[in-house]
């Protein structure tokens, strides 16, 4: 292991979203799609906070096994790829098609971590999270389990 990031990844274990449901490495398109959903969650309330950005960056590092600079690069790509009129069909379609239910539940947990990052949960954020769960193919029960995991500190 040549770098601090390699050592840190080895210490943390596997990155749950680094491979898709078929075991293939998650490509840039899939990573960006996931990051877009997280960014849209952060932009869903009145104020986009630094805490939300930090939560997203750290999630990308951990979940994809990225270095800090790789996560920042991915966030930049996601910012550029954000849909203009709120059409998340491309991002949600990729996530639904290529990730397993368990992985999508993990992403839903990350969405809730972003919602909770600024210390308040607005009604619009709850509604948007339910919408994202639906369009990524999760049942209400699966989405609720993902949220409960976050609330118990298990993600």
Break the chain into its structural domains and give their ranges.
Answer: 4-9+26-151
Q: What is the CATH number of domain 4-9+26-151?
A: 1.10.3680.10
Question: Which two structure tokens, joined as six digits, stand for 117?
Answer: 């990052």
Reduced to 3 states (helix: H, G, I; strand: E, B; else coil), residue 151 is: helix
C-alpha count within 13 angstroms, C-beta hemisphere, residue 112 = 20
Listed residue (119, 102, 87, 118) closest to 155, CA to CA: 102
- The Cβ of residue 42 has, within 10 Å, a number of other Cβ atoms equal to 21
Listed residue (147, 155, 152) closest to 41, CA to CA: 147
pLDDT tens sequence across 49-67:
778 989 999 999 999 999 9
pLDDT tens sequence across 118-137:
888 889 889 999 999 999 99
Question: Which two structure tokens, joined as six digits, stand for 60?
Answer: 């990308």
């Amino acid at each position: 292991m040549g770098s601090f990031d390699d050592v840190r990844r080895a210490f943390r274990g596997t990155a749950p979203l680094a491979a898709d449901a078929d075991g293939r490495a998650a490509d840039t398109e899939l990573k960006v799609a996931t990051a877009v959903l997280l960014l849209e969650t952060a932009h869903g309330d009145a104020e986009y906070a630094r805490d939300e950005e930090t939560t997203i960056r750290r999630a990308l590092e951990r979940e994809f096994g990225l270095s800090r600079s790789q996560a920042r690069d991915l966030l930049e790509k996601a910012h550029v790829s954000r849909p203009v009129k709120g059409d998340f069909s491309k991002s949600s379609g990729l996530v639904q098609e290529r990730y397993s239910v368990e992985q999508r539940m993990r992403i839903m947990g990350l969405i809730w971590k972003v919602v909770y990052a600024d210390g308040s949960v607005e009604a619009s954020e709850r509604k948007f999270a339910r919408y994202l769960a639906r369009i990524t193919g999760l049942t209400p029960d699966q989405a609720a389990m993902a949220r409960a995991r976050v609330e118990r500190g298990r993600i």
